[in-house]
Amino acid sequence: MKCSAAFFLALLALVSCGSRFKAESLRKEAVTAQLEMHRDYSPPLEIPIAAEHRDTLKVTAPDGREVLIMNAVRDEDGEMVANDVLDAAVVYARFRNVAERDGKVDLRFDVIVPGQMLDSKWQIRLHPVLTVLGEDVRLDSITISGAEYRKAQLRGYQRYQRFVDSIITDSAEFVRLRDLEIFLHRNIPELYRFKEDTTLVSEEEFESAFGVTERQALDHYTDRFKIRRNDRRVASLDRMYSRYVKVPILRDGIRLDTVVNSADGDFIYSYVQSLNVRQDMSRADIVLSGGVYQEDDRIYGIPETDPLTFYISSLSSLADDRTKYLTRVIERRAEANSICWIDFAAGSTQVDTSLSNNAGEIGRIKENLYALTASGEFELDSIIVTASCSPEGAYAYNTRLSGERSRSIASYFGEELEGVRFIARSIPENWDMLRSEVARDDSLGIVQKETFASLMEVKDPDDRESALQRQPFYRYFREKLYPRLRTVRFDFCLHRAGMIKDTVHTTEPDTLYMRGVKALKDRDYRTAVTLLRPYNDFNTAVAYCAMGYNASAMEVLGGLEPGDKVEYMMALLCSRNSDDALAVQHYLNACNLNPAFVHRGNLDPEISGLIEKYRLNETFY
């Protein structure tokens, strides 16, 4: 038995020494985790090709010649010759161009942990950090736990749970019920019989019969020591959690928390981080660091990796931000009008500022005059004053009365505005306005409105008014509608100061369009599409393309004059549609029109894939 115990102690020491030796080996060799650009699959060092083949496209050169584009290399004489078999070697770069679409990019990379860093008793904690626009952002961590490490974590939780379960939550457990029963049975048998008696006994009856309350009896047989011990356990919950759960299993801020059962090979995790792209954001760098832990002790610090760099390609940089102008026709003459209600005494034609609300109405007309001329842009030529009366009374009388009132108002304002010509006009009875008032009056029913409409067919205005007076709703007309008809309309005839020609054509920035362009450059593509859709120009196509509306973008580009940007956008869209031949043709056209697109093509994944596949830039430039 002693030999067996010694054997296990020796074995435990050997295992412990093995872990320390392994950790020391990591430090000596400076073993680190690795960051690599994400691969859609994990290829071996060589990719087998099933059969000989050539990737060849036929395109048209700028001079009209047909040219073959192929995957080719230079021979020993410097000539380009086609490859019958694609190269098998694969090299992974530490930078990649990623396309921003709809204001976002997905950064894809692989986190590789070498097998020698994996151990059943260890936990590896990896912390990727994103640097963008000079700001460091810590991404969700990756935690890789050995099987024994995780078992130890779970054992700690189990021990803590057993401690929690030992805490008493039912207060009845603190009463020594058996002792209480024995005491009652021996000394107070009358009370003990209450145990089997279903008769309800009140607190007062209990106390009068036995000289002690129920609460006093319970307090006497309550285990105070047990309560104090339970209270101490409740107070030590946090301390016992720290004692038993030395390394908690975290959930927040963790991208991956997995258990590795075998250390036979490397551990690879494919990480995808979505990123909202901000203005002027052209690149993002990611580095990785971390540590190896045994229990809660950091036994090895993982060196920080070299950064992976993502170059962010945004279609917004292709936007044409030249100012767009609108042609506006400016007329020399301008008109404005205002209606007011000036009351007159019965049968009077004199303007009385003290009557009703005349002072306020006259003041409002003066304010309108000031607003029209204060800026100096307009000069006042004349004012047409049109007074109108309501239909009650004879038409001939209303004709004279409205004319005199119109002239009186023109004379009143003419005294204050010297040099302005006033033209007096009148409407004897304002039947047209009455028709409008009746149509929108909700107090009148359908039958009443139909009756009024039939009376409006009467030609003679006096006969029409007489027939209206016989209607039961006439009083409502006289009290509510007729006062609204007694209006004075002012028509202001103006001209632009200093302008001689009747019309002038001028241009001004199209502010709505420029808002759309700004939204496009700020990568607010939904707003850009909304504002630019009516224009159907190049910027509209860029906004469509950024939102993934490829068919709409191609339709707009098809209606535009060919140009370097148009050709480039067509190449990008054709590449999305997997039409390599047409995409290459448009790309070469764009580069011939503007050599700057040779570099730009490397920034957009849709184009860079074509360049790499067919070695376009190496062949032609």
Residue-wise pLDDT for 502-537, tens only, equals: 776 678 899 999 999 999 998 889 999 999 999 999
pLDDT on residue 85: 39
Amino acid sitting at position 406: S
**Higher per-residue confidence, 272 vs 84:** 272
Residue 573 CB contacts under 8 Å (≥ 6 apart), including other chains? 545, 550, 553, 554, 557
DSSP string, 430-455: -HHHHHHHHHT-TTS-HHHHHHHHHH
**What is the predicted pLDDT for the residue at 449?**
93
For tokens 């607010």, name the residue: 524
Give just the sign of the alpha carbon dihedral 478, 483, 488, 491. negative
For residue 121, which of 144, 90, 93 has the smallest C-alpha distance? 144
pLDDT of residue 559: 95
Least confident piece of the model among 217-221, 412-416, 571-575? 217-221
Q: Under a CB-based contact definition with an 8 Å cutoff, are residues 584 and 78 in contact?
A: no
Decide if pLDDT at 592 tops 60. Answer: yes
- Note the pLDDT tens digit of each residue in 453-492: 999 999 999 999 999 999 999 999 999 999 999 999 999 8
User: Does residue 538 or residue 110 have the better pLDDT?
Assistant: 538
Give the pair of three-digit tokens for residue 113. 């942990």
- The structure tokens listed for 394 are 């004879």
Residue 409 has pLDDT above 70, yes or no: yes
Among 3-7, 118-122, 357-361, 473-477, the range scoring the smallest mean pLDDT is 3-7
Question: CA distances (Å), 354 to each of 217, 345, 357, 358, 359, in order?
Answer: 95, 11, 8, 7, 7
Q: What distance in Å separates the CA atoms of residue 277 and residue 310, rounded to the nearest whole number?
A: 12
Asked whether the predicted pLDDT for residue 148 surpasses 70, the reply is yes
Beta bridge partners of 300: 292
DSSP characters over 89-148:
B----SEEEEEEBTTEEEEEEEEEE-GGG--TTEEEEEEEEEEETTEEEEPPEEEEEEHH
Q: What is the pLDDT of residues 168-208, one digit of tens each?
A: 887 777 767 666 666 656 665 665 566 555 454 555 555 55
Determine which helix (DSSP H) or strand (DSSP E) holds 11, and give its type and residue range.
helix 2-29
Residues in the chain: 621
d(CA 23, CA 299): 7
The answer to whether the beta carbons of residues 454 and 470 sit under 8 Å apart is no
452/6 Cα distance (integer angstroms): 118
Specify the 3-state DSSP secondary structure of 578: coil
Tell me the per-residue pLDDT of 36-86, one tens digit each, with 9 for 90 and over.
887 653 333 333 333 444 455 666 655 565 655 555 544 555 554 444 433
205-258 confidence digits (pLDDT tens): 555 554 455 566 666 667 778 888 888 888 988 888 888 887 787 777 777 767
Q: Residue 500 above 70 pLDDT?
A: yes
Which residues contact residue 23 at a Cβ distance below 8 angstroms, ignoring those fewer than 6 apart?
A: 292, 294, 299, 300
pLDDT confidence of 8, banded at 50, 70, 90? Answer: very low
C-alpha 254/C-alpha 40 separation (Å) is 23
Between 263 and 500, the more confident residue is: 500
Higher pLDDT among residues 177 and 500, named by residue:
500
CATH fold label, 327-503 = 60s Ribosomal Protein L30; Chain: A; (3.30.1330)
Q: What mean pLDDT do residues 556-580 have? A: 95
Confidence of residue 10 (pLDDT cuts 50, 70, 90): very low
* 16 has pLDDT over 90: no
Task: Answer yes or no: is pLDDT of 428 > 60.
Answer: yes
Phi/psi of residue 93, nearest 5 degrees: -80, 165
pLDDT, residue 213, reads: 55
How high is the mean pLDDT of the chain?
A: 81
DSSP 338-376: EEE-----TT--S--TTSTTHHHHHHHHHHHHHHHHTTS
Arithmetic mean of pLDDT, 163-169? 86
Mean pLDDT of 390-398: 93
For residue 565, which phi and psi values (nearest 5 degrees)?
-70, -40
Three-state secondary structure call for residue 506:
strand
Angle at 445 between CA 440 and CA 448, to 5 degrees: 95
Q: Please check the confidence at residue 426 and state whether its pLDDT lies above 50.
A: yes
Where are the domains positioned within the chain?
Answer: 164-244, 327-503
Q: What is the pLDDT of residue 233?
A: 87
Residue 151 has pLDDT above 60, yes or no: yes
Report the distance separating Cα 569 and Cα 498, nearest Å: 49
Confidence of residue 425 (pLDDT cuts 50, 70, 90): very high
Please state, as a whole number, how many other Cβ atoms lie within 10 Å of the Cβ of residue 334: 15
pLDDT, residue 186, reads 61
Q: How many CB atoms lie within 10 A of CB 371?
A: 10
Model pLDDT, residue 88: 36
Beta bridge partners of 275: 105
pLDDT category of residue 89 using cuts at 50, 70 and 90: very low
